[in-house]
Amino acid sequence: MFVPSLHGKNLCQLVKASEAAVILGVKPGTLKKYRLAKDSSLIPGIHYHLINPRVVRYHPELLLDWFINQQTPELHQQTIELYLSLVPSNQPKCRGRRAK
């Protein structure tokens, strides 16, 4: 499980396709093929976000972990679960007031 900055504070840093391609050592077109393949294991909202039909942003740490762990998807699933547990919107909500 490769998660260099999931333990840090910058969970929401998304990068352009050209930057993500450099991280993986592939061309941006290859990265697009990975994303659009019928049997792609890249998950929208996890590995990448569609801002609009022409703009895609990638989560670099999760993308790199996916690339490294393609042969062991259970390890990558652990990384996804860790990421989701750290996302602020997935934290429990405080309801009501505490009695004094």
pLDDT in tens, 27-62: 999 999 999 999 988 999 999 999 998 899 999 999
Q: 60 versus 93: which is more confidently predicted? A: 60
Q: Please tell me the distance from the alpha carbon of residue 51 to that of residue 69, in angstroms, as a whole number.
A: 26
DSSP per position, the chain: ---SSTTSS-TT--B-HHHHHHHHTS-HHHHHHHHH-TT--PPBTTTEEEEETTEEEE-HHHHHHHHHTTT-HHHHHHHHHHHHHHSGGGSPPP-S----
Question: Is the confidence at residue 8, as pLDDT, over 60?
Answer: no
pTM over 0.85: no
Domain borders along the chain are 17-87
Q: Is the pLDDT of residue 2 over 90?
A: no
User: What's the mean per-residue pLDDT of the chain?
Assistant: 83
Confidence of residue 11 (pLDDT cuts 50, 70, 90): low
